Structure 1
Amino acid sequence: MRIIGGKYKGRKLFSMPKRKDTKLLRPTTDRVKESVFSILDEYLEGVRFLDLFAGTGNVGIEALSRGAGEVVFVESDRRFCELIKKNLKTLGISPDKYRIICDDYTKALKKLASAGRKFDFIYADPPYEKGYYNRIVNLVKNFNLLDENGLLILEEPKSNPFLPNDIKWIVERRNYGTTTVTFLNFAESFSEE
């Protein structure tokens, strides 16, 4: 894995060695990451970005490299939380630019909501087979975690895309090989702009 653009372009990231006891990690591919960040690139300067199901921190670190003001990484596996720390430290990224929450995503989203946090972008790449998509969408919407013009970006399998409770929330849906990326916004005014 490598960083595709921005300040740390070309730098490699550490990944978890493959072992039987390591959960199956399916990192966001360079193709998907490059496509998503080419869409977001001009909007990233100074934003608050949430990397949900962060794994190695690949997506959130890409956001920091491209100018995000702050990234919150949420990952439930302590080994991956340590790997995110290692990647951030190796790149020399200042601790005031990020926060790592090593907890279940539902608990983490509740904590962030209780603290009054809002994000410009939330990127969620959950395990495809778990079927978390509607729950993620509903938690983000009900906890009001997005700024008015903020986007929830879901990475999902092209073979089984989900439909949210209201299809008007879908701003755009793009396919990249076997992956679909869905961009959602919950503000009534967003679709009218």
Structure 2
Amino acid sequence: MKRRPPSRPPSRRKASPASRHGGGGKLRIIGGEYRRRLLPILDSPGLRPTPDRIRETLFNWLTAVTPGARVLDLYAGTGALGLEALSRGARQAVFVERAPAVAAVLEANLATLEAAGRVEIADTLAFLDRAATPFALVFLDPPFRQGLAEPSCAALEAHGWLTEDAFIYLETERELMPRVPVTWQLQREVRAGDGTGRLYRRTSSS
């Protein structure tokens, strides 16, 4: 979905589009209100949007879930999933990205679209340690092979970030079968480049 940095997860945020940051590629919104819009993305090692085919598959699964949802996009990178959700009717999206330059481009893209989103420049695990407001839809795409998937899932569950029936999309390296909270039930699975995307639904622990 986004990036695979060598040392630790980057994140994405504001500023004038990618030209100010040494150039980059384009992110295409594939459905909804902003369909076919092309947005600049930073040319940064390991930073790439979730492929169109995977996004199309994922949002077909989420057709009934996305409209009106509050969305949390963690390790946001280009923000491809959160932006796609906003295009398809999500009420609000919060993007968490650690790298200021990457976050700057994402913030500029939100301004261009006049979309209801905001960017938090923060380490994701530190962000999840804060007081939480529950989200109905969470996208989680940590850098591969840095041991971040399982603690991020645990923090989402432990600190009240999820509504009772939230959906969580988790993308990991292909060889990893992540341990997730017992309240999460696997709904769908898709191969995503060199990784695997899994969609979970949270159920009541009672």
Fold similarity call, TM over 0.5: yes
When the two chains are superposed, the root-mean-square deviation of aligned CA atoms in Å is 1.9
Contact 1:9-1:65 within 8 A present in 2 as well:
yes
- Please state whether the residue corresponding to 1:42 is helix, strand or coil: coil
**Alpha-carbon shift at residue 127 of structure 1 (Å):** 0.6
TM-score normalised by structure 2 residue count: 0.80
| Match runs of 1:68-87 below 5 Å | 68-87=90-109
Q: Which residue of 2 aligns with 1:139?
A: 155
Q: Partners in 2 of 1:46 and 1:173 — Cα distance?
A: 22
Q: Partners in 1 of 2:202 and 2:111 — Cα distance?
A: 35
Query: For residues 60-105 of structure 1, what are the alpha-carbon distances to aligned partners after superposition, in whole Å with 9 as ceiling and x for unaligned?
Result: 1100000000000000000111011111122232xxx212110000
Q: Partners in 1 of 2:113 and 2:171 — Cα distance?
A: 26
Q: Which residue of 2 aligns with 1:92?
A: 114
Q: Partners in 2 of 1:39 and 1:124 — Cα distance?
A: 16
Q: Partners in 2 of 1:24 and 1:157 — Cα distance?
A: 14
Runs of 4 or more, structure 1, over 3 Å off, are: none
Report the residue type matching 1:104 in the other structure. D
Report the residue type matching 2:127 in the other structure. A
Q: Which residue of 1 aligns with 2:33?
A: 7
Question: Which of 60, 77, 85 in structure 2 is aligned with 1:63?
Answer: 85
Contact 2:49-2:79 within 8 A present in 1 as well:
no
Query: For residues 8-30 of structure 1, what are the alpha-carbon distances to aligned partners after superposition, in whole Å with 9 as ceiling and x for unaligned?
Result: 0001121112xxxx442142111
Distance 1:48 1:144, change over 3 A: same
User: Which stretch shows the higher mean deviation, 22-31 or 139-148?
Assistant: 22-31
Verify: 1:172 aligned to 2:187, yes or no.
yes
Q: Which residue of 2 aligns with 1:107?
A: 126
Q: Partners in 2 of 1:84 and 1:9 — Cα distance?
A: 17
- Please state whether the residue corresponding to 2:133 is helix, strand or coil: coil
Higher relative contact order (CA 8 A, sep 6+): 2
Query: For residues 107-144 of structure 1, what are the alpha-carbon distances to aligned partners after superposition, in whole Å with 9 as ceiling and x for unaligned?
Result: 21223xx1x40100110111112121110111001012
- Please state whether the residue corresponding to 1:174 is helix, strand or coil: strand
TM-score normalised by structure 1 residue count: 0.85
Report the residue type matching 1:122 in the other structure. V
Report the residue type matching 1:138 in the other structure. A
Q: Partners in 2 of 1:16 and 1:82 — Cα distance?
A: 9
Higher helix share: 1
Contact 1:170-1:182 within 8 A present in 2 as well:
no
Report the residue type matching 1:15 in the other structure. I
Contact 2:96-2:119 within 8 A present in 1 as well:
yes
Query: Alignment length, in residue pairs?
Result: 179
**Alpha-carbon shift at residue 165 of structure 1 (Å):** 5.4
| Match runs of 1:110-121 below 5 Å | 110-111=129-130, 114=131, 116-121=132-137
Contact 1:141-1:186 within 8 A present in 2 as well:
no
Report the residue type matching 1:108 in the other structure. F
Q: Partners in 1 of 2:150 and 2:204 — Cα distance?
A: 19
Gaps in structure 2 of 5+ consecutive residues: 1-26
